[in-house]
Chain A
Amino acid sequence: MKRRSIVALCLVAVLAAAVTTATTLGATKKATASSITVWLQTDAQSGWPDLVASTNQQFQSDHPGTTVNIQYQNWGDHLQKFDATLAGGGGPDVIEMGNTEMTKYMAAGAFAPLDKTTFDNSASWLKGLAASGAFGGKTYGVPYYAGSRVVTYRTDLFKKAGITKLPATTAQFVADDQKLFAKNPKKGFSATYTAGTDWYFAMSFVFDYGGGIATQVSGKWKGLLSSPKSLAGLAAYKAFFLATSRASKTTDETHPNPYDVYAQGLAASMIGPSWFSCCVGKAYTADTAQFVMPGHVKGQSIPGFLGGSDLAVPVTSSSKALATDWIKDFTSTSSEKVLQAKGNIPNATNLLGSSVNERAAARSWFVPTAKHWVDVENGNILRNMLAQILTNKLTIKQAASSASDNIASVLNQP
């Protein structure tokens, strides 16, 4: 009898301990009406925390008694997290979305429509960004900031190779790169480092030659990569890559980071966002500058991918009006100027300055605004195509037409 009661006692004790820890640890505060939760990417935490703080201050002085809870997210898994909160609740009132992520969620009705006219500079929002936040004639996403792609280069190496004038066409750039190779016979050295499957860069050639990825014809998506113009662009990309880069033909633009290659002195130039200048290595900081990549026609830059972020209000939010007001503060003219000072492209054309980054944005391209575009990206259809082309596994035409058909079938899913 005694033994049993001891066992029973132990059991009760353990269960009680479990319950008490559960209740004491689980002091979940119920969200009051006067509090909003904002999901921003960590870029804001490391890049412009002061802007976030001052926006919150501004917002709280306009809405006394309201608290703002900023929760930082990662690009890698914020959508899984968001999906979970859409199903179970407890999600944010404001969410930062990548501009290529928006369409799928807008199509599913995940966001509340916003009145575009109440936001600063909404009449002159950057076209690419504004398009990513609009669906079916309504606005769901407010442009936050953008970034374009530029050439970061070593002024000292260019001078040593006798390049006195920056290239005005892609062909000139390739010719200059040959001079750079001649002066730098180091193993593994790239005159222009680009990763083989960097599809953002490769598609720039496609758009430069007048091609495209996909287009909508009477409600149906049609692949464009196998069109003659796109094929010309892909051929130009292949020629450019083989002539200038010693990177792996199958790697992407973050493995390794181009600036790490550059920082080792293994590249005379590299293609990427303008913030790449942050990390070029102490030895080369003084000899680093940037220019806008030229296109194949003289006087025209190559169209760059316009990456960026939008801010949206999920339908599950219980304080949509407050959330909208916070977005207004965070994307006001003065806020955008702070973002600009941090090296970003502000969200409206009337705010654009003349930095390399902003000049490069003048000619830009964007992914098809289709509900299933994300599946094309996640399925790595374009990256696989590029790897096949560069490694000669398939001819350009074979690889492009199979990718094109593939893209069309993904985009046309119900």
Chain B
Amino acid sequence: MNARRRGRRARQAGWNVLGLAIFVVMVFPVFWMISTAFKSNEQIVSLNPTWFPLHPTIQHFRDAIHRPYFWVDVKNSLIIVSVTVAISIVLAFLAAVALARYRFGGRKLFIVLVIGIQMLPQAGLIIPLYVVLARYHETNALSGVVITYMTFVLPFSVWTLRGFLIGIPKELEEAAMVDGSTRLGVFMKILLPLMGPGLVATSVFAFITTWNEYIFARILLNDQSKQTVTVWLSYFVGSSRHTDWGALMAASSLTAIPVVIFFLLVQRRIAFGLTAGAVRG
């Protein structure tokens, strides 16, 4: 018994070490971005890499924040992303329920169409989409970007959520129905909690995709006061002149913060799903 426990502990330690090693490799580029943001300009271009800036400077962060339109564009991104994610997840969940739990004519067609939309090369859609949105006066407007993003996020979300729903045994709901619960009750008490991890994973995806999207935001938004953070970032490298790498890295580190915060807020749902396994049965 003791030996077995010891063996288990050794194995656990092994997994932990492996996990840490992978963490280091994966995160290295991120580390490089953040550490560069704190380096002096001389260190940034130096031939011998500086791993940790011993005398960190926050000058690059100051430069980045003080560039025009930073805060306005952060706000725009937050608005676009939160509206897109909220509406998309609700709509996609409804459709996923229909696909996973109902049989109806045209169902297969709908599924195939939804994935078909994903297969369209986005580059081919730039001009047609612009023309349509211009017709509805939705260019140079945040709402135009929101609906554009919804067309990418929705199909993906429908698919993933359907996958998660299929993973939940139907018997659970049926048992509850037999017990006299209403459909809505089943939905609230059984489906929703079990879907937690799936909903979280999907919305994290939706959040990050929309937060990082560049091409359509660039084409659709003209005024600098209406652009998103990724477009704002592109102004660092877009000029024909010298690029301020330090400030670019500082700005990129800053724009990653909302994503990380969002994930930290929702990640407990995923972890919770693991520990709550006992509830199911």
Contact = CB atoms under 8 A, between A and B. Distances in A.
Direct contact of A and B (CB under 8 A): yes
Interface of B is mostly: helix
B239 A81 contact: no
Contacts of A283: 42
A86 to B, nearest CB: 9
Contact of B218 (A17, A69, A81): A81
B42 A74 contact: no
B242 A42 contact: no
Contacts of A263: 42, 45
B239 A75 contact: yes
B238 A42 contact: yes
Contact of B135 (A3, A23, A24, A88): A88
A343 to B, nearest CB: 10
A279 B241 CA distance: 10
A85 B140 CA distance: 11
A264 B47 contact: yes
Contacts of B139: 28, 88, 90
A25 B142 contact: yes
B171 interface: no
Contacts of B87: 14, 17-18, 21
A21 B88 CA distance: 14
Nearest to A24: B143
Contacts of A18: 87
Contact of B130 (A75, A88, A259): A88
Nearest to A279: B242
B143 A26 contact: yes
Given A264-B45, A266-B47, A84 B146 contact: no
Interface size grouping (class) on chain A? 35 or more
Interface in B10-39: none
Nearest to B44: A260
B172 interface: no
28 contacts: A3-B182, A10-B94, A14-B87, A21-B83, A22-B147, A25-B79, A25-B142, A25-B143, A25-B146, A27-B141, A28-B138, A30-B137, A42-B235, A43-B241, A46-B241, A73-B238, A75-B238, A84-B219, A87-B127, A87-B131, A188-B47, A257-B243, A259-B242, A263-B42, A263-B45, A266-B47, A281-B41, A283-B42
Interface of A: 2-3, 6, 10-11, 14, 17-18, 21-28, 30, 37, 41-43, 45-47, 69, 71-77, 80-81, 83-85, 87-90, 188, 257, 259-260, 263-264, 266, 275, 278-279, 281-283
Interface of B: 41-42, 45-47, 79, 83, 87, 90-91, 94, 126-127, 130-135, 137-144, 146-147, 182-184, 215, 218-219, 222-224, 234-235, 237-243
